[in-house]
Amino acid sequence: MKKKILVVDDEDFQRDLLKKLLAKVGYTVAEAESPEVALALMKNEDFPVIITDLIMLDMDGVEFCHRIRERNSQSVIIALTGYADLYDLKKLKQVGFDNYLTKPIKLDKIQPVVEAGFEKIKQRKKSRR
């Protein structure tokens, strides 16, 4: 399986930082500045892991997660927020997120979460056989 990740965040700095950190450890990273752009990318390409900010202008991360799940996507979706205290993390799981990360982003925190996401994808594929 290709270790492709889609990073969705309306802040250029956060997207660039995530892309650099993840590419540094061998992931292929695509980026989108909005959920709408991400959904358009997802029409043509499969992303096993999606990392999305929760607070964005036109569509928040929760609505974006709903849209991804409506497509019956098997992608692992990881919420990214600088405001973990604003979200009930159990509710994030209920709406379809597989995991979450908090800002500020650090490689030693993100890599285990992303690797767990790829492992989850592998297990999902095995269970469908």
- What pLDDT is stored for residue 78 in this prediction? 97
Query: Residue 129 — pLDDT band, cuts 50, 70, 90?
Result: low
CA distances for 12 relative to 2, 31, 58, 90, 126, angstroms: 25, 10, 16, 28, 36
Query: Residues 56-78: pLDDT tens digits?
Result: 998 999 999 999 999 877 899 99
Give the dihedral sign, CA 119/40/89/107.
positive
- Cα→Cα distances 87→1, 3, 25, 94, 109, Å: 32, 28, 29, 12, 19
Residue type at position 90:
K
The pLDDT assigned to 52 comes to: 97
Residue 19's region, left for phi above 0, alpha for psi from -120 to 50, else beta, is alpha
Domains of the chain: 4-128 (3.40.50.2300)
38-44 average pLDDT score = 95
pLDDT of residue 61: 94
Name the token pair of 5: 């990740």
* Cα–Cα distance, 121 to 119 (Å, whole number): 5
pLDDT digits (tens, 9 = 90+) for 79-121: 998 766 666 777 888 889 999 998 888 889 999 999 999 999 9
Q: How many CB atoms lie within 10 A of CB 78?
A: 24
Residue 85 is predicted with a pLDDT of 65
